[in-house]
Amino acid sequence: MTGPPVRNSIRVSWQRSEASNVDIDRPAPTYLDRFDRETTLTRAAGPVIDALASELTDEPVCIILTDAKGVVLDRRGGDASLLRRLDAVDLAPGFRYAESEVGTNGIGTALEIGGPILVNGAEHYNGQLRVFSCAGALITHPVTGGLLGVLDITTKARNTNSVLLSFAKLAAKRIQERVIEEASALDRALLSDYYAACRHSGGSVIALGDEVFMMNTHAQQHFDAVDQAALIDRARDARGGPKPLVFLTDLPSGTVARMAYQPTFVRDTLAGGVIQIKEQREPATARAQTRIPSIPGTVGTSAVWRHVSQEVLDACTRTDWLVAEGEPGVGKLCLLRAVHDHASSSRHLAILDPAGLPEPDELVAAARAELDSGSDLIIRHAHLLQAEAIDGLTELLQIVRDNAVTDAPWIALTVLADRGQDSGQLDTQLLHFFPRTVVVPPLRHHLEDIPALVRSLLCKAGFADLTLSTTTVNQLMRLAWAGNITQLRGVLTAIARKRRSGVVQLEELPPECRATTRRHLTPLEALERDAIVEALSNSGGDKAAAAGALGMSRATIYRKIRDFGIVT
């Protein structure tokens, strides 16, 4: 870069921009076609930006709101000439104006330094941005301190003045005040619904919002700490849903809990939800059983896993037709197959999958042939069945049930817990033949089984000489495992590609396992997380060196390590 001397903060920003290989001639921000437009930030900022924009109509000043990653959420005000220039450099909703993508600017640089900044015309790294001056002020959550976004005021460079940054900071402060006002209104509404549910139900109640969690005394007295933790996990799964929902969950103690979720709204804004809990305990004779037998082929000793294994075993032993429901990758088919091998090893078990037999008549014919031959049957991914196949299977199962006197076949289905709105025919027509549904729990509900799962998966893959250190296993037990056991198997496979024996240490885990944040990361955030983990590994954990390698300030890398929950 050439030109007159510049401020140190700008010079360092140019160095970061150069290290990020930012194009000096043409800004190239990433465009996200999907991003959340309805957030705490946008709701709080809306009235503030409306008021400011009404005062700046046809003025050469534009108000820009971004999220914490620099993605433009809203753009208001500005005369026609200014707006055309902003469009020409993609400073518009959906584009990410991070410093690493477009160089020094009021949005991205404010995020990098963690504070407000005014970037005047020639101080921009990219040549096409030097016609602007922009002042960016951070917006943080007044209670949690978390970064919400940036309020940026942009004008043509010739119109800049010292008041621009003060204007941005005042607007950001007002938005933060609105965050508190809105949070108070949402929390009051949620609290009101919570108290109403406690009074009317007389039972166990949980309420969850973005920043609020409540559990009444009844729930605390009737469920032990382990069951409470399971209830909270299931409640978190339901949180954020805009519609009422009723679901069953198996608790570690063996209790089946019916959880009824009711969302709370303030006008069109979701404040959270209230969940009323009813116990549906098993008969005393079932609870009195001394010990659930170990089932070869299944791995897990947690109370939750043992309970669901016993349910499937009971159904198979009595030849009760069964539906195994759960998220992808939880082990539904593995559990059904293992239980069948344990309880009915003398009978052949056929497994059919609509994905492998796409023609409806072909699948029905295969099912009929297997049942006629005396086989037991599992239909995997039954939620994928087409209408014609459901009709054919309904007719077939009716014949089997009517004719079954002795030696009846055992039939089971696997379905997704969230199978969409097109499952009406499956639920009302085919599932009528299956008196029981067992919910196979996601891995996050029985994390204590991870050590045994790790050993089993490594042995099955042929890596019996490879073990994980205690610290490494403990880290795996802190993760959310959205992909469940399938994701765990993939992680272990990735590790085994690099080494076949010995003890795997924490720093050898893939980047996705070095961060404990449970929020969903965008593809860009995932790439950023992986880059930070790799830089930390290459620098031996030296954060300053990693920041230098990535072209970040030390303050930025510390903030991102905290935000992503990266273990160092």
Task: Please state the domain extents for the chain.
Answer: 8-181, 202-280, 289-441, 445-564
Whether pLDDT at 419 is above 70 = no
The pLDDT, as a whole number, for residue 405 is 59
Q: What value does the mean pLDDT take over residues 485-495?
A: 94
Confidence of residue 285 (pLDDT cuts 50, 70, 90): very low
Confidence of residue 290 (pLDDT cuts 50, 70, 90): very low
Instruction: Starting at the earlier edge strand, list the strands of the sheet with 132-140.
Output: 72-77, 61-67, 147-156, 132-140, 117-119
Q: What value does the mean pLDDT take over residues 253-267?
A: 87
Confidence of residue 342 (pLDDT cuts 50, 70, 90): very high
The pLDDT, as a whole number, for residue 548 is 84
Whether pLDDT at 346 is above 50 = yes
Task: Give the pLDDT confidence of 131-155 residue by residue, as tens digits.
Answer: 999 999 999 988 667 899 999 999 9
The top-level CATH class assigned to 289-441 is alpha beta
Confidence of residue 284 (pLDDT cuts 50, 70, 90): very low
Provide the β-strand partners of residue 139.
149
**73 to 50, 148, 168, 474: CA distances (angstroms):** 14, 12, 16, 39
Task: Give the pLDDT confidence of 25-66 residue by residue, as tens digits.
Answer: 889 899 987 777 778 899 899 999 998 888 777 788 999 999
Task: Give the pLDDT confidence of 400-417 residue by residue, as tens digits.
Answer: 988 865 678 999 999 998
Confidence of residue 459 (pLDDT cuts 50, 70, 90): very high
Amino acid (one-letter) located at 239: R
500 close to 463: Cβ distance less than 8 angstroms: yes
The pLDDT, as a whole number, for residue 406 is 65
Task: Give the pLDDT confidence of 522-536 residue by residue, as tens digits.
Answer: 666 777 787 888 888
> What does 451-509 look like in DSSP terms, one character per residue?
HHHHHHHHHHTT-TTEEE-HHHHHHHTTS--TTHHHHHHHHHHHHHHH-SSEEE-GGGS
CATH fold for the domain made of 445-564: Helicase, Ruva Protein; domain 3 (1.10.8)
**202-280 has CATH 1.10.3720.10 classification:** no
How high does pLDDT run on average in the chain? 87
The pLDDT, as a whole number, for residue 455 is 94
The pLDDT, as a whole number, for residue 423 is 60
The pLDDT, as a whole number, for residue 293 is 63
Whether pLDDT at 549 is above 70 = yes
565 vs 536 pLDDT, higher one: 536
Q: Collapsing DSSP states into helix, strand and coil, what is residue 328?
A: coil
Whether pLDDT at 283 is above 60 = no
Give Cα 330 to chain centroid, integer Å.
Answer: 16
Task: Give the pLDDT confidence of 96-140 residue by residue, as tens digits.
Answer: 999 999 999 999 999 999 999 999 999 999 999 999 999 999 999
Confidence of residue 287 (pLDDT cuts 50, 70, 90): very low
| Burial bucket for residue 232 (CB in 10 Å: 0-12, 13-18, 19+) | middle
Intrachain domains 8-181 and 202-280 with the same fold = yes
60 close to 155: Cβ distance less than 8 angstroms: yes
Q: Using N-to-C axis directions, what is the helix angle for 554-564 and 543-550, rounded to 10°?
A: 100
For residues 506 and 508, what is the distance between their CA atoms, to the nearest angstrom?
5
Superfamily of domain 8-181: GAF domain (3.30.450.40)
Measure the N-to-C terminal CA separation of the chain; round to a whole number of Å. 36
Task: Give the pLDDT confidence of 309-323 residue by residue, as tens digits.
Answer: 989 999 999 999 999
**How many DSSP H helices and E strands does the chain contain?**
20, 19
Across 85-94, 236-245, 280-289, which has the greatest mean pLDDT?
A: 85-94
103 close to 27: Cβ distance less than 8 angstroms: yes
Whether pLDDT at 479 is above 90 = no
Whether pLDDT at 222 is above 60 = yes
Whether pLDDT at 235 is above 70 = yes
